[in-house]
Amino acid sequence: MMVQYATARRLRAVNDSYQQEAEVLLQLGIGRPTIARAMQVARRNGASIEQELIASGSIDADSYYASLARGLRLPFLSAIDSSLVNDDKALDSSFCRLAASGWTTSAKACWRSCRKPETW
């Protein structure tokens, strides 16, 4: 009984996160049918609606992120000058300690996506 309750809570949280993401996408002007299709695929693939919209070509990544930045009143840069990025081995070791301390799977996936490809 306790396992069923925990599973139901987890499913509700996932559905809530998809719904929250869908509401933001609607505010950005993306159509409801487009969002609904991407949400179905995202649920099946364990991805975000945003990831599915971009992967399918339904939205252009630069246009999407520019729109998102505009909504947050932030500047948008389509590319970042690599000289402005500070990479430090100490940062990587901090991630390793956190990963070993019980990060969730999604947090670990995020961490992997932030690392340099040669460290995968």
Q: Can you give the pLDDT of all 120 residues of the chain as single tens digits?
A: 555 555 555 556 556 789 999 999 999 999 999 999 999 999 999 999 999 999 999 999 999 999 989 988 999 988 888 888 877 766 666 555 555 555 444 444 444 444 444 444
- Report the alpha-carbon distance of residue 30 to residue 17 in Å, rounded: 17
Residue 39 sits in the same domain as residue 6: yes
Residue 59 sits in the same domain as residue 116: no
What would the two tokens of residue 45 be? 């693939």
Cite the DSSP H helix spans in the chain.
2-27, 32-45, 49-56, 61-71, 89-100, 105-114
Residue 119 sits in the same domain as residue 66: no
Residue 35 sits in the same domain as residue 70: yes
- Report the alpha-carbon distance of residue 37 to residue 53 in Å, rounded: 9
pLDDT for position 113? 46
Residue 12 sits in the same domain as residue 31: yes
Domain count, the chain: 2
Does the predicted TM-score (pTM) go above 0.75?
no
Residue 53 sits in the same domain as residue 109: no
Domain hosting residue 23, numbered range: 2-79
